[in-house]
Amino acid sequence: MLGASAGTLAALATPRSLFARGLLTEPALDELIKRALAAATKAGASYADVRIVRMRHENLSTREDRIESVASNEEYGVGVRVIAGGAWGFSATPNVIATEAERIARHAVAIAKANASLMKNKVTLSPETPAVDVWQTPLIKDPFKIPLEDKAELLLAINREAMKVPGVKFVSSHYSAVAEWKLLATTEGTYVEQEIVRLAPGYTVTAVNDKLGEFESREHDFAARQAGWEYVEAAPLVADARRIAEEAVAKLKAPSVREGKHDLILDPSNLWLTIHESIGHPTELDRALGYEANFAGTSFATPDKLGKLRIGGPHINFYADKTTPGGLATCGYDDDGVRTQKWNLVDKGLFVGYQTTREQAGWINEKHSRGTCYGDSFSSFPFQRMPNVSLAPHSSERSIDDIVAATDAGIVVTGRGSWSIDHQRLNFQFSGQTFWEVKGGKRTRMLRDLAYQANTLEFWAGCDLIGGPKSWQLHGSMADGKGEPGQSNAVSHGCPPARFKKVNIVNTNRRSA
């Protein structure tokens, strides 16, 4: 177990602090941190950390020619996490003043001591070199400084362009942004300031056949990203609106898919979510050990299978990476103060790694954490959350068109649709946005009413072709749920297109029922 020394606490009161180094703008925060850590140690904590977090959210939605909603909110507060008697304790307050920080520090220690008598195994943290650093999202234009009118006009311009296509009846567009500023300090000497900015614009076009009373929708596949406003400015959101609208109309006229076994070619805009559910969540160590079962259960990838279980052929490599440029889970340090990193989860088809925190590393006899601790608010207890989990591309260049050309008969799936997965992360069903029949190495007609079903291990074992480096794309979600009480984490998944042999296809048509 790691604890604080008198020298460490003294160092926090010296010019080593970020304020003295010119990195903080409020000397009151420096004083608050020193007093909170000192109060926790005096009350009996062998370890303590302080997180001061400011979260800003901005959301805007429109429909056709009008603005539907505008929302902007902010939360700011401090949380203190401690270990005392071998147990965790945590307390938080929105009153960011030194006396309140001292109070919650003592309260956190009292909670830890109360928990200690219930602990069968004492909390032990893996060793970590203290860091004093600053990290922020690389950006040119702060999206929170862009006028709201500019954002609204962008969304309305999308709507106007999509509504020009005959058969389109509805268009809804949206924009959301999150700015997360946090300051982490520990009794070990870590003092890290970070600012992370995430963006997620998008829209959905709906076409209607009035005579038959049918409708079909098409979402844009634009990826949420950690970036500045310049990312949105460079995106073809308006330019794509007519194509997206035309595809929504075309879906109305498309024939239903024929059920049965088909070769599937999954575009990165679809495959990322399948990776998230079938590889990302199963390799969370707490889920694999049964400590986490919220949001679709535990995991088939239990520790006894580590280094033994085969997930796909030798060309299948999955890696976790909290350093991917633009990744939604990317940052400099996790909420344990561990510098972020990249490591393999599946190496040449073999299951080889987990996502861990400092507390969890020792559970599987690893010496160091993988840096995946995160709390979504000052008032949330940080715990293991998913990093960016990605499928590595093939070393040879191969585009989705190359994969189509190599396929005699199959179906191409693009975009995110509905999804479902069982409580061991094995059996699943996914849909998409558009579906294209492939015959003789060429895309022919559009299909609809398609979902694919598979078993995780069989699915990845059936992956026989994957795209090359230039076909690799990054997609993701601003909200991934886990825990009780639930917390939300933003996460990205990169992948190339890939082909899967003989996947079971079901027809989801219920119009005639």
Regarding whether 310 and 235 lie in a shared domain, the answer is no
Which of 253, 269, 301 is the C-terminal boundary of a domain? 253
**pLDDT in the model for residue 296:** 80
Same domain, 320 and 336: yes
Structure tokens at 389: 């989990």
234 with 265, same domain? no
Confidence at 19, pLDDT banded by 50, 70, 90: very low
Q: Which residue spans within 153-286 are E strands per DSSP?
A: 168-186, 191-209, 214-219, 225-226, 260-266
Per the model's pLDDT, the better-predicted residue between 134 and 21 turns out to be: 134
CA–CA gap between residue 454 and residue 443 (Å, rounded): 24
- pTM flag (> 0.95): no
Q: Which of 221, 174, 141, 171 is nearest to 57 (CA)?
A: 174
> Of all helices (H) and strands (E), which one includes residue 272?
helix 268-275
Asked whether residue 20 carries a pLDDT value surpassing 80, the answer given is no
Name the residue range of residue 26's domain. Answer: 6-253
Q: Chain-wide mean pLDDT for the chain? A: 94
- Do 315 and 174 belong to one domain? no
* Co-location of 82 and 122 in the same domain: yes
Residues 230 and 213 in one domain: yes
If asked whether residues 214 and 276 sit together in one domain, one would say no
- Answer whether residue 513 is part of any domain: no
100 located within any domain: yes
Lowest mean pLDDT segment, chosen from 160-164, 208-212, 439-443: 208-212
Residue 490 pLDDT exceeds 50: yes
In the chain, the percentage of residues whose pLDDT exceeds 70 is 94
Which pLDDT band, with edges at 50, 70 and 90, does 511 fall under?
low
pLDDT of residue 26: 73
Asked if 332 contacts 135 with a C-beta cutoff of 8 angstroms, the reply is yes
Same domain? 265 vs 318: yes
User: Does 1 fall in a domain?
Assistant: no
Q: H or E element: which one contains 425? A: none
- Residue 481, SS3? strand
Q: What is d(CA 502, CA 504) in angstroms, rounded to the nearest whole number?
A: 7
pLDDT in tens, 378-436: 999 999 999 999 999 999 999 999 999 999 999 999 999 999 999 999 999 999 999 99
- Residues 153 and 283 placed together within one structural domain of the fold: no
Strand partners, 317: none
Look at residue 9 and tell me whether its pLDDT is greater than 50: no
Q: Please calculate the CA angle 130-54-144 and round it to the nearest 5 degrees.
A: 120
**pLDDT at 10 > cutoff 60:** no
Residue 173 resides in a domain: yes
Radius of gyration of the chain (CA): 25
Question: What token pair was written down for 435?
Answer: 């579906």
pLDDT over 70 (residue 486): yes
**Minimal CA–CA distance to 274: which of 425, 92, 171?**
425
Main-chain dihedrals φ then ψ at residue 137, nearest 5 degrees: -60, 125
Return the closest-CA partner of residue 387 out of 317, 322, 318, 319.
322
- Is residue 467 domain-resident? yes
Q: Which of 253, 281, 299 is the last residue of a domain?
A: 253
Whether residues 35 and 175 share a domain: the answer is yes
Q: Are 431 and 219 in contact (CB under 8 A)?
A: no
452 vs 5, residue with greater confidence: 452
List of residues 6+ apart from 508 with CB closer than 8 A: 431, 449, 450, 451
Q: What is the mean pLDDT of residues 127-135?
A: 96
Q: Does residue 1 carry a pLDDT above 50?
A: no
Residue 27: its pLDDT value, please?
Answer: 84
Percent of the chain with pLDDT over 90: 91
Among left, alpha and beta (phi > 0; psi -120 to 50; other), residue 206 is: beta
As for how many domains the chain has, the answer is 2
Residue 98 lies in a domain: yes
What pairing do the DSSP bridges indicate for beta strands 450-455 and 427-430? antiparallel
**Using one digit for the tens of pLDDT, what is the confidence trace for 441-468?**
999 999 999 999 999 999 999 999 999 9
Determine, yes or no, domain membership for 385.
yes
For residue range 222-281, what is the model confidence (pLDDT) as tens digits? 999 999 999 999 999 999 999 999 999 999 999 999 999 999 999 999 999 999 999 999
pLDDT at residue 15 tops 70: no
Q: Is residue 21 located within the same domain as residue 104?
A: yes
**pLDDT score of 314:** 96
Residue 512: inside a domain: no
Q: Could you read off the pLDDT of 177-199 as tens digits, one per residue?
A: 999 999 999 999 999 999 999 99
Q: 148-163 and 241-253 are packed helices; what angle lies between their axes, rounded to 10 degrees?
A: 40
Q: Which two tokens stand for residue 95?
A: 């009153």
Q: What are phi and psi of 123, to 5 degrees?
A: -70, 125
Query: What's the pLDDT band for 294 if we cut at 50, 70, 90?
Result: confident
- Would you state the pLDDT for residue 7? 34
Opening angle at CA 398, ends 341 and 420, nearest 5 = 65
The whole-number pLDDT of residue 295 equals 85
Task: Give 323-382 pLDDT, tens digit per residue.
Answer: 999 999 999 999 999 999 999 999 999 999 999 999 999 999 999 999 999 999 999 999
Measured CA to CA in angstroms, residue 56 lies from 53, 75, 378 at distances of 10, 7, 12
Asked if 63 and 98 count as a contact pair (C-beta separation under 8 A), the reply is no
Do 211 and 304 lie in a common domain? no
Residue where a domain terminates, one of 213, 230, 253: 253
CATH of the domain at 12: 3.30.2290.10
pLDDT over 80 (residue 13): no
